[in-house]
Amino acid sequence: MDVERDRGRYHSSASGLTVVAHFFGILATILMLVWLLHYREGLDLDSDDARRVFNVHPFLMFFGFIFMAGEAMMAYKTVKAEWQVRKFVHLFFHLVAMVLGIVGLHAAFKYHDQVGLTDMYSLHSWIGIGTFTLFCAQWLVGLAVFLPRSSPSHSKAMIAPWHVNGGRALLFMAIATALTGLSEKATLMRLQHQNEGRLINFLALCILLFGISVDFSVSLARYA
């Protein structure tokens, strides 16, 4: 009885934190759009204006990559549904994150080509490309091991802890990439408006709090 009560308490805590995670994720998306549309000329991957091309990068790397990856983690660990359903939703959200992440990276490289910047010159880019490469590798391993019904149970049991903890680590690596990127861009832009600087700070804080909320939600949900 005590075990069941504890499980219910953990699951209740995880559900509340899932709501908090969505709040910070949606708020960060709104702040990102306000920043890019109001202060930074908008988004357009096919534009001749390099700034508008670049703006696709931060939007897709947060909403398309970080937010979707967080959704994938919460969908698997905190939603009451059949295991197969949760597994396919988890896989699908990660696939969406990977595809949109590729487009986001393409926007950054295209911007560098347009303005004549060297690729992969900053800590932000090093962490980012490393994170994305490991994310793709993690997705492929998960696809090969956990999706087929014929996969040996002992292989799934051996890889599962690495898969779960690796996913959590990659989420924070992605957030570290986002925060270093925002800091780097703010420094390079030499922001003319004080309000823009405050907006970027609040955006970065919301991204960090989103990641923390996702991580706690997933951690507590494992007891459910």
* Distance linking the first and last C-alpha atoms of the chain: 14
Total domains, the chain: 1
Q: What is the CA radius of gyration of the chain?
A: 19
Residue 76 in this model has a pLDDT that exceeds 50:
yes
- Higher-scoring residue by pLDDT: 134, 5: 134
**pTM of the model as a whole:** 0.91
- The pLDDT confidence band at residue 133, using thresholds 50, 70 and 90, is very high
Over residues 8-36, the mean pLDDT reads 89
28 CA to centre of own chain: 12
136 CA to centre of own chain: 13
Instruction: For the chain, give the number of residues.
Output: 224
What pLDDT is stored for residue 92 in this prediction? 96
CB distance 131 to 173 below 8 Å:
yes
Q: Which of 8-12, 48-52, 131-135, 159-163 has the lowest mean pLDDT?
A: 8-12
Residue 7 in this model has a pLDDT that exceeds 60:
no
Query: Which residue do the tokens 């009885």 mark?
Result: 1
CB distance 169 to 140 below 8 Å:
no
Among 37-51, 146-160, 185-199, top mean pLDDT goes to: 37-51
What DSSP designation does 118 have? P
Q: How many angstroms separate the CA atoms of 84 and 3, rounded?
A: 26
What pLDDT is stored for residue 123 in this prediction? 95
Q: Which of 23-27, 81-85, 100-104, 106-110 has the lowest mean pLDDT?
A: 81-85
Residue 169 in this model has a pLDDT that exceeds 60:
yes
- The pLDDT confidence band at residue 191, using thresholds 50, 70 and 90, is low
- Report the CATH number at residue 79: 1.20.120.1770
As a whole number, the mean pLDDT across the chain is: 90
Residue 219 is encoded by which pair of tokens?
């951690």
State which residues form the domain around 56.
Answer: 2-221
125 CA to centre of own chain: 16
Residue 23 in this model has a pLDDT that exceeds 70:
yes
Over residues 98-124, the mean pLDDT reads 96
What pLDDT is stored for residue 55 in this prediction? 97
* CA triple 195-21-209, angle to 5 deg: 50
Residue 119 is encoded by which pair of tokens?
């690729």
Q: How many angstroms separate the CA atoms of 97 and 99, rounded?
A: 6
b/e 31-59 (16+ beta carbons within 10 angstroms → b):
bbeebbeebbeebebebeebbbbbbbbbb
Q: Which of 172-176, 186-190, 206-210 has the lowest mean pLDDT?
A: 186-190
Residue 2 in this model has a pLDDT that exceeds 60:
no
Residue 3 in this model has a pLDDT that exceeds 60:
no
Residue 202 in this model has a pLDDT that exceeds 80:
yes
